[in-house]
Amino acid sequence: MKTDLLLLTLLYAVACASFIGAINARGPARVALSYFLAILTLCAAVFHTSQLFTSASVPNHFEDAVVVTPPPPVPSPKPPEPVTPPPPDSQAINSAKNQTAVAQAKIDMKGLLESARRVARNLAGLNLGSVKEISDEEYEAMQNKAVGYLAESRRCKEKIAAYKTPDALHEAEDNLAKGVDALVTAAYNAERFFKSENDTEEKEHLAAFRRGSQAAGASFKKAGAQLGSEDAGD
């Protein structure tokens, strides 16, 4: 801006000097040339003056422009945290396992109980009090049955001894084991009955046979009630 003002001042000074020189000039050619230069210099000064004021009146959009700060970047949303599943309920799992084990044990023990009852029913079918009234063939057949029932009762005892029951069924297991022990005793005395050497031994074995059968039946009845067996009343 200062440079433009100095240039205009210089032009106007030259224009004034040209007009002064034209006034003092002698001869028509000098006067015409002096006025021409003076007018040319004045026109140049006026042109630059108009350019200066025009440029001054036009606003500088670049200087007046408001610098707009770009908005900050929008942070991306955080991904949802994974939902951790709750830990398994170990107490409920153990309870379910125990219930399953108890249910299966009941089924197995009912099978053992039914096997023992079947032996007891077959053993009760031996009418030992009437052996003196039967033939030798019937006597021998009854004796063989007694031997077979003793073997079956002992197998029942071995199965029950080898079976492991849950704590909830220990009482039923005890009654079943007591019943099988009594059944083995009854079967043993039935088998020994046929080997008695006299009437006294026969009466002793017969009495032991009946006591064992009654004890076995009572224990089987308790075990059946505890296991929910349909034959609990037998």
| CATH value at residue 140 | 1.20.120
Looking at residue 143, its pLDDT comes to 92
Could you write out the three-class secondary structure of 49-63? HHHHHHHHHCCCHHH
- Answer whether residue 109 is part of any domain: yes
Query: Could you report the per-residue pLDDT of 211-230, keeping only the tens digit for each?
Result: 999 999 999 999 999 888 76
- Residue among 99, 118, 232, 230 at smallest CA distance from 175: 232
Query: Could you report the per-residue pLDDT of 32-46, keeping only the tens digit for each?
Result: 776 777 677 777 767
- Answer whether residue 173 is part of any domain: yes
**Structural domain harbouring 12:** 2-55
The total number of structural domains in the chain stands at 2
- Answer whether residue 143 is part of any domain: yes
- Answer whether residue 185 is part of any domain: yes
- One domain for residues 125 and 21: no
What DSSP assignment string belongs to 31-82?
HHHHHHHHHHHHHHHHHHHHHHHHHHHS--HHHH---PPPPPPPPPPPPPPP
- Answer whether residue 92 is part of any domain: no
Using the 3D structure, point to which of 19, 38, 55 is the last residue of a domain.
55
Percent of the chain clearing pLDDT 90 (strictly above): 38
- Answer whether residue 145 is part of any domain: yes
Looking at residue 210, its pLDDT comes to 93
- One domain for residues 117 and 194: yes
- One domain for residues 42 and 154: no
- One domain for residues 107 and 216: yes
- One domain for residues 166 and 223: yes
Query: Could you report the per-residue pLDDT of 70-105, keeping only the tens digit for each?
Result: 677 777 777 777 777 777 777 777 778 878 888 898
Q: Taking the model in full, what pTM does it have?
A: 0.58
